[in-house]
Chains A and B, each alone.
Chain A
Amino acid sequence: MAQGTDEAAARRQQLVLALERVATGDRDALRQVYEMTSAKLLGIIVRILPDREQAEDVLQDVYFKVWRRAGRYDASLGSPISWLAVIARNAAVDEARRNGRTPASEDGELENIVDDAQLPDDFLCEAEMHAEVRRCLDELEENQRRSIRMAFFGGLTHSQLAEALAVPLGTMKSWIRRGLANLKGCLGHGTA
């Protein structure tokens, strides 16, 4: 376990260094970032944009953005994979909206097209944080959890969620708000 943690930390550090080199215009460094993270980021994108071709187009854009933005990554603000994940998720949501798609991914709808088994880049994950977030989500009421997951993976707003789940807007706001309040407590905001 300890060894795995060390390895994860070393991989993250490697990724941070590669991003720093990307910021100086080093193409090989971008290639390294790509090798280390592209499978992870495509997994995120495809969750939001199930069309593989479209998802890969967005993936291209994401790395082009990384090329331009690498200088803005600040290691003190969080893990590099989180930073990349946010870029990928936002790019996918933007693309889904641009297409006018109603991204209504249900929980688990896409699990089976994602091959979860292989990848060295899993060492990059914030395994502990992920486990914690997952545990806290699981503690939520079904409606709260489902709404939050749909908002995140589908990029849906309050009113879009209300429509998708056929509930009044106020009800949806309440689910989200209460869900976030519970998450905040569970994840210990302000205590860590």
Chain B
Amino acid sequence: MAPPDDGSDLPDDPVIRAGEYALGVLEGEELAAAQREAIAGGDFAAAVAWWQQKFAALAEEAGSLVPSTGVWNAIALRLPSRATDEVPTPAHPAEPSGIGGWKLLAALATAAAIAAAVTLFVATPGGPPRPVEPVTREAGPQIIAQLQSEDGESRIASRIDPDTGRLNLSIAGLTPEDEARSAELWVIPEGGAPRSLGLIPGDGEVTRSLSAEEASLLIEGATLAVTHEDRAGAPHEAPTPPILLAGPLSRL
């Protein structure tokens, strides 16, 4: 009997894999591999974007439906009351050090934008494999960020449980060569200045409680970032470039 046809006789084509990924049908190892490729950018990411465009055109055939009048009001209530709240001026008027604060913010914003572009795909269809899902479903909404360097060697998966006020980090590949230095975690509120969350190990799992102030910063839309800093003087006032990892926090 012939083996069942699973299309595996088709030549391996990254564009087709990008299509499977954009469509959201991949699972498990295939999904993880595609995510790594998409995060790395290049032709694969471009192909994913190409498919997203095509599928978005498909979405348009869904037709239109005018929302109830209350919907806009509900949205308006969730917006900050004054537009100036959102204008990206540093929260601390005094520049903490010689580091160009705005430059750093710009760099972070770019990094966040890149990460966001990736997230758009990653958060899509298949989403990351979610072995923890049954737990999180019961525990209420979780805030997560998955940060990864281009080569995939440095990674942080972070999860914040607003109910218990706990931060969980799973870290890999962030140990600096210089022993006098360490990875330091930062949160950058939307439009605000970076705040240190302290030094973190270069590899391993960490869980700790958050102060009320920290918890108030670790919300959807804020950016999480990692730099290498001198161990001395931590937590620092401001991060030192380069930003090793950065990406947005999103609600799971």
Name A residues whose Cβ lies closer than 8 Å to a Cβ of B: 24-27, 30-31, 34, 38-40, 42-44, 46-47, 56, 59-60, 63-64, 67-69, 71-72, 74, 77-79, 81-83, 85-90, 93-94, 97-98, 100, 111, 113-116, 118-119, 121-122, 125-126, 129-130, 132-134, 137, 148-149, 151-153, 155-159, 161, 168-171, 173-178, 180-181, 183-184, 187, 189-190
Contacts of A39 in B (CB 8 A): 64-67
Contacts of A74 in B (CB 8 A): 113, 117
Of the listed residues B26, B61, B78, B137, the one surrounded by the most CB atoms of chain A closer than 10 A to its CB is B61
> Is B53 touching A82 in the complex (CB atoms < 8 A)?
yes
Known: A115-B65, A130-B57, A171-B4. 6 other contacts (CB 8 A): A72-B112, A74-B117, A89-B55, A100-B137, A129-B57, A190-B15
B86 CB within 8 Å of chain A: yes
B7 CB within 8 Å of chain A: yes
> Is A42 touching B23 in the complex (CB atoms < 8 A)?
no
> Is B59 touching A94 in the complex (CB atoms < 8 A)?
no
Contacts of B19 in A (CB 8 A): 180, 183-184
B124 CB within 8 Å of chain A: yes
B84 CB within 8 Å of chain A: yes
> Is A159 touching B27 in the complex (CB atoms < 8 A)?
yes
Contacts of A181 in B (CB 8 A): 10, 13, 16
> Is A177 touching B54 in the complex (CB atoms < 8 A)?
no
Q: How far is the CA of A183 from the CA of B25 in the complex (A)?
A: 16
> Is A114 touching B63 in the complex (CB atoms < 8 A)?
yes
Contacts of B13 in A (CB 8 A): 181, 184
Chain A proximity mask over B122-157: 1 for CB below 8 Å, otherwise 0: 011111000000000100000000000000000000
Contacts of B212 in A (CB 8 A): none
> Is A43 touching B62 in the complex (CB atoms < 8 A)?
yes
B6 CB within 8 Å of chain A: yes
Contacts of A81 in B (CB 8 A): 56, 60
Q: How far is the CA of A126 from the CA of B14 in the complex (A)?
A: 26
Q: Main SS of the interface on chain A?
A: helix
Q: How far is the CA of A173 from the CA of B20 in the complex (A)?
A: 9
Known A158-B26, A177-B20: A56·B67 in contact at CB below 8 Å: yes
Q: How far is the CA of A132 from the CA of B61 in the complex (A)?
A: 12
Chain A: CB-nearest residue to B109:
A71
Known A158-B27, A189-B47: A180·B16 in contact at CB below 8 Å: yes
Q: How far is the CA of A67 from the CA of B74 in the complex (A)?
A: 14
> Is A157 touching B126 in the complex (CB atoms < 8 A)?
yes
Total CB contacts across the A-B interface at under 8 A: 224
> Is B65 touching A151 in the complex (CB atoms < 8 A)?
no
Q: How far is the CA of A125 from the CA of B20 in the complex (A)?
A: 24
B232 CB within 8 Å of chain A: no
B238 CB within 8 Å of chain A: no
B66-92 contacts to A, CB under 8 A, are: 66-68, 71-72, 74-76, 78-80, 83-87
CB distance from B113 to the nearest CB of A (A): 5
CB distance from B238 to the nearest CB of A (A): 22
Q: How far is the CA of A67 from the CA of B220 in the complex (A)?
A: 12
Q: How far is the CA of A98 from the CA of B127 in the complex (A)?
A: 12
CB distance from A160 to the nearest CB of B (A): 9
> Is A176 touching B20 in the complex (CB atoms < 8 A)?
yes
CB distance from B136 to the nearest CB of A (A): 10
> Is A25 touching B113 in the complex (CB atoms < 8 A)?
no
Q: List 12 A-B contacts (CB under 8 A).
A: A30-B75, A31-B76, A39-B65, A43-B63, A46-B65, A47-B63, A59-B67, A64-B75, A72-B113, A98-B137, A133-B54, A173-B7
Give 4 closest A-B pairs by Cβ, nearest first. Answer: A170-B6, A25-B86, A174-B7, A177-B7
> Is A59 touching B62 in the complex (CB atoms < 8 A)?
no
Chain A proximity mask over B28-60: 1 for CB below 8 Å, otherwise 0: 000000000000000000010110111111111
CB distance from B18 to the nearest CB of A (A): 9
CB < 8 Å neighbour of B50 from A42, A114, A148, A189: A189
